[in-house]
């Protein structure tokens, strides 16, 4: 009796681990963008050389909880990798008039968010897409990611009438169509344009 139950437990553990291996392998195969990100995560410890060779395709997702909470209270919490350092500096030095609205925070909070954005700006993102954004900017960098030439170009197939749909509201609402926007993944295959 004792032996039998021991055998059962071992059998159960074996099937469970098999399942785990199968699902992780499947996830890796299916989600290219994330795989690249995870790869980088591992490579980050192997020094500068690895960083230069392997660039991720996606924009690194936001990890700062205050950033997510404060910025995300009103709009999509744009990844700092969507804009160059200079844009973030300007944005965080003018929160009292943030695109026509008062988004003021305590000096302390504004400072820490500004630092977070600058430390993770497009220049630091080590991402192919962030580099495309950077390379497209000529002259003074804009304050909205949607005003960078690369993003304008990527969205120009959509007429204003699509972007103004009640389900989308505006080009600023990334997550309306990019179903994986909060993970920094803007691949075409994860786009779903709502009616």
- The site for another protein (CB under 8 A) is made up of 72-76, 100-106, 168-170, 172-173, 176
Least distance (Å) between residue 175 CB and another protein: 9
Q: For the chain, what is the largest distance between any 2 Cα atoms, rounded to a whole number of angstroms?
A: 78
Listed in sequence order, the residues at least 6 apart from 69 whose beta carbon sits closer than 8 Å to its beta carbon are none
Q: Are 172 and 144 in contact (CB under 8 A)?
A: yes
Backbone φ and ψ for 69, nearest 5 degrees, come out as -70, -50
Please give the Cα distance from 52 to 192 (Å, whole number). 32
Closer to another protein by CB, 39 or 172: give it: 172
Closer to another protein by CB, 73 or 160: give it: 73
Q: Are 184 and 31 in contact (CB under 8 A)?
A: no
Least distance (Å) between residue 180 CB and another protein: 18
Least distance (Å) between residue 192 CB and another protein: 15
Please give the Cα distance from 182 to 9 (Å, whole number). 40
Least distance (Å) between residue 73 CB and another protein: 8
Closer to another protein by CB, 21 or 169: give it: 169
Closer to another protein by CB, 37 or 186: give it: 186
């Amino acid at each position: 009796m004792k032996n039998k139950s021991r055998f059962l437990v071992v059998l159960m553990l074996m099937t469970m681990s098999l399942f785990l291996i199968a699902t992780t392998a499947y996830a890796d195969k299916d989600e290219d963008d994330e795989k690249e990100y995870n790869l980088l995560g591992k490579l980050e410890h192997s020094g500068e050389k690895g960083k230069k060779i392997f660039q991720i395709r996606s924009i690194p997702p936001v990890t700062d909880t205050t950033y997510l909470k404060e910025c995300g209270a009103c709009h999509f919490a744009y990844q700092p990798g969507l804009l160059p350092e200079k844009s973030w500096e300007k944005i965080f030095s003018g929160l009292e008039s943030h695109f026509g609205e008062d988004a003021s925070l305590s000096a302390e909070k504004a400072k820490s968010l500004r630092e977070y954005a600058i430390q993770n700006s497009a220049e630091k993102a080590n991402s192919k897409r962030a580099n495309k954004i950077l390379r497209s900017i000529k002259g003074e960098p804009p304050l909205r990611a949607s005003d960078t030439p690369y993003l304008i170009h990527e969205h120009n197939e959509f007429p204003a009438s699509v972007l103004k749909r009640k389900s989308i509201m505006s080009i600023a609402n990334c997550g309306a169509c990019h179903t994986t926007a909060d993970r920094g993944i803007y691949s075409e295959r994860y786009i779903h344009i709502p009616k």
